[in-house]
């Protein structure tokens, strides 16, 4: 079976599917960080090359809730958001039977449709709290608890937060995901996809597709 992992240069998800026996091509405008089949360029150059599955991670720079705050009185940023939404829409509606698209909470829910699932990395064994939305086509939501040993996915672990003093809460404390202590200039680290979810995708969706082949 052939899989396209779009907008990925880390090959974290690609390698998880390779481990399950898939013929995987990753694609991004950046070169791959690891060895493997990788197309550097526009995903729509290769999207119709007969893939059975596509997992995509479209850039979220202009799609997040935070990005939306900068839209008023900024026509250039508004135009880039429209382009980002169009890119997302075209991925979701491409001619591939099984599709999963990941993005943070943002404007896709308003302008295209709500996600099929919202998860966190700590549901799958990584201690990071980070809302991760999945838009699915012909794929089931991911399961993050053991189900009769069908899957080897790690069960949930305790999330790690950074606490700070706050005058707006009753306790006097507020919290952020441990990711945000990295601060500005670390967008690459903060956007990195986590291994637990990648493994869950590969294990669970491979099993599902094999059990539902015509």
Q: In total, how many domains does the chain have? A: 1
State how far the alpha carbon of 91 is from the alpha carbons of 46, 122, 205, in Å: 12, 27, 18
Tell me the CATH number at 127: 3.40.50.150
Do the strands 117-119 and 161-165 form a parallel or antiparallel pair, or are they unpaired?
A: unpaired
Q: Looking at the domain assignment, is residue 8 inside a domain?
A: yes
Give the residue ranges of the chain where pLDDT is below 70.
65-70, 145-191, 214
Residue 175 lies in a domain: no
C-alpha distances (whole Å) from 86 to each of 65, 76, 104, 110, 181 are 17, 15, 16, 13, 32
| pLDDT score of 128 | 82
What percentage of the chain exceeds 90 in pLDDT?
A: 58
What pLDDT does 153 receive?
47
**Residue at 186 is within a domain:** no
Is 109 a domain residue? yes
Model pLDDT, residue 187: 46
Residue 24 lies in a domain: yes
- Give pLDDT, residue 63: 87
For 9, the domain range is 2-158+194-211
| Lookup result for tokens 């838009």 | 135
**Does 179 reside within a domain?**
no
Provide the token pair at 31: 């070169």
Residue 184 falls inside a structural domain: no
What is the tens place of the pLDDT at every residue in 179-210?
A: 555 445 434 454 578 899 999 999 999 999 99
Residue 169 lies in a domain: no
């Amino acid at each position: 079976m052939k899989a396209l992992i779009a907008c990925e240069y880390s090959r974290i998800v690609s390698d998880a599917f390779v481990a399950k026996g898939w013929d995987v091509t990753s694609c991004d405008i950046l070169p791959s960080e690891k060895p493997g089949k990788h197309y550097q360029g526009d995903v729509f150059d290769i999207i119709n090359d007969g893939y059975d599955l596509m997992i995509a991670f479209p850039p979220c720079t202009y799609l997040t809730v935070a990005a939306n705050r900068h839209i008023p009185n900024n026509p250039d940023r508004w135009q880039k958001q429209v382009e980002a939404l169009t890119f997302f829409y075209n991925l979701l509606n491409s001619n591939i039977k099984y599709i999963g698209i990941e993005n943070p909470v943002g404007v896709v829910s308003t302008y295209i449709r709500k996600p099929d699932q919202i998860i966190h990395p700590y549901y799958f064994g990584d201690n990071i709290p980070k809302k991760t939305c999945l838009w699915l086509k012909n794929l089931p939501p991911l399961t993050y608890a053991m189900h009769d040993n069908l899957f080897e996915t790690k069960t949930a672990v305790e999330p790690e937060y950074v606490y700070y003093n706050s005058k707006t809460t009753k306790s006097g404390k507020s919290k952020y995901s441990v990711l945000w202590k990295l601060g500005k200039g670390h967008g690459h680290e903060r956007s990195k996809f986590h291994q637990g979810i990648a493994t869950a995708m590969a294990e669970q969706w491979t099993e599902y597709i094999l059990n539902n082949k015509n």
